[in-house]
Amino acid sequence: MSILGRILRTSVFRLSLLYALLFSLIAAAALLSVYKFAENQIEDQIDRRLKLETNLLLENYRKRTLTGLTEDINIYNKKEGRPFYIYALIHQRKLDLKRFIPAEQLPEIIDENNQNQIFASIPMGEIVDYVNDRNTNETVRVLLTLLPGGYQLLVGAELEETQDLLNQLFKASLIAISIIFTLSILIGSLMARRMLNRINAVTKTADNIIDGDLSHRIPVIDDRNNELDRLSRSLNRMLDRNEELMIGTREVSNNLAHDLRNPLNRIRHRIESAKLDKNRLSGNEFKFDDFADDTIEDIDGVISTFNALLSIAQIESGEPRKNWTEFSLNDLLNDLSEIYEIVADEKEIVWQYSTGKDLNINGNKQLIAQLFTNLLDNAFKYSPAKSIISLSAIAKDDSNIEVIISDQGTGIPESEHENVYKRFHRLDSARSTEGNGLGLSLVKAVVDLHDAKISLSDNKPGLIASVSFKR
């Protein structure tokens, strides 16, 4: 399909066409109103001039009777050139001028001298026999005054120039409407083409992503910052997030396969060994217990990994928000302190704990307890004897509460502070210890669920983990 055909089928062009028609109709109505207003104003001005000319003649008529009026009319009509005004004095017996005037044009009016007067617009042909040197096709605006004795005084004004002016105004209005409509269509076409280009860019990006190129993004013009650019940025952020999730899913799948392969291989190896050596199960109780304990331990590790993954997935889905309540963080940290104080005594670690008062937050109490449990378990796992582990909570201001856990263990390199939240990610120094690399992933999921913030910093030696909650 040609570019013109595609433009004609776009919603933007159709809307532009609709708006062009509506705007043209509005412009036509406005210009028609201007035309009618100009026509009425011109007619009112002519009527005032006719009234003025008639009053001058009547003034002479009252002073000099019909003889003076007749002389004035002859003088006025004999002016050189083509006078704008025409004058006539006709007796009703000779020609009744009222019968040429449509009754519906204007009603009769009575002037200040009790003389009947009528305004009307009539063809020149109706009175051409009584007015010399006039075009019968012209239309004149007249004021007819009925005098005593059956005489009729007619004062008229030619409308040719006025009509030409109105015709020019009408033509100018038609030209203006045509220009407005044409420009509206052209502007609509340009807008449709630009919109089509933006849509084509989105379509191309979608096609590339469907074909497997997850890195492709929608172009954004930074200097415009219009609604399409804002939409493109939002879609690009969504695509960035989708790419991260796809990469994360791929990494999770690879890591999960790697982490599950070892325990499953061990379980398979034990079963094969037991099958080859029947005495291991039937004749030696001690070896059977070892076989069962080792197998259960590996199976528990697999179950623990799946449970952690399910917990993270459930947290990221936002479902735990249904169970949110306002609770005292002091009480939760006090309970944890009592538990880990015992653990510290067993591992010969110095335990320090401090908290403020009235530290209430809104959230899922069980998940927040799991968050701090994971952080504290890591602190104890990687801290040597005689070192210090501390837990503290303070109200930074009226809207934020900060919980800090610090240790003097092996710590985490600054370059790995963001990577440790990835699923199954483990530092080289931690590969020999128990765990599945999901503890900090769960911590980050809980933090994000509660719109909180977590930051890691070097304790020199050790690690400081700070979690900030909104009240």
Domains and CATH numbers, the chain: 12-164 (3.30.450), 227-316 (1.10.287), 323-470 (3.30.565.10)
How much is the pLDDT for 338? 92
Please report where in the chains the tokens 């952020």 appear, as a residue.
237
Distance of CA 219 to the CA centre of its chain: 18
**8-state DSSP, 409:** S
Strand order in the sheet with 400-406: 350-355, 388-395, 400-406, 463-470, 453-458
> What element of type H or E holds 235?
helix 227-276
Q: Report the b/e string of 235-268 with b at 16+ CB within 10 A.
A: bbeebeeeeeeeeeeeebeebbeebbeebeeebe
How much is the pLDDT for 110? 47
Whole-number Å distance between alpha carbons of 253 and 423: 10
- Note whether 291 and 270 are within 8 A (CB): yes
Rounded to whole angstroms, what are the CA distances from 48 to 53, 86, 91?
Answer: 9, 15, 25
- Bridge partners of residue 119, in order along the sequence: 143
Rounded to whole angstroms, what are the CA distances from 93 to 127, 150, 151, 319?
Answer: 15, 8, 9, 104
How much is the pLDDT for 107? 47
- Which residues of the chain register pLDDT less than 50? 81-82, 106-107, 110, 112, 114, 280-281, 283-286, 431-432
How much is the pLDDT for 324? 83
Whole-number Å distance between alpha carbons of 116 and 108: 7
- Note whether 376 and 385 are within 8 A (CB): no
- Judged by DSSP in three states, 251 sits in helix
Burial of 341 (0-12, 13-18, 19+ CB in 10 A): middle
Burial of 375 (0-12, 13-18, 19+ CB in 10 A): buried
Rounded to whole angstroms, what are the CA distances from 245 to 45, 242, 252?
Answer: 80, 5, 10
Burial of 143 (0-12, 13-18, 19+ CB in 10 A): buried
